Chain A
């Protein structure tokens, strides 16, 4: 059973000027963040239920809250997964989806089953030993609606080269 009451409560508490401006003691700021995170956690259940009833099928929905640092255990381990893009705007959008993955070649299909162009790039800066592959593909979603893309890993080899042109301003400079 999902509920948005927790997030509403946390947002209400966060109207305090200390929460808005960051002028609280550290442990208070941490508690604001804790309340918001707990509220968002409950909302994820709510969103999953909504998607299940809108789609007519219950899935084990996963919310990766650390995509901004290229962390998502599901996409970094699974060979097949779905990406549901929900658009809260009142007009259609196209968006470039970036997902951390574990290999270098994937097949992406649009909601209508068409093949979507996709690429995998290495997001780590030069000089780092290990790779951090990230899958990129263009996606679109209708106004106040969602689209479901299916992603399948293809057998591939680690690329023989890194992305071109590692130039070091410092060295040349």
Chain B
């Protein structure tokens, strides 16, 4: 998965 799209951080 592309992490730029995930936004799993606050």
A and B, one complex? no
Q: What residues make up the interface of A, taking CB atoms closer than 8 Å to B?
A: none
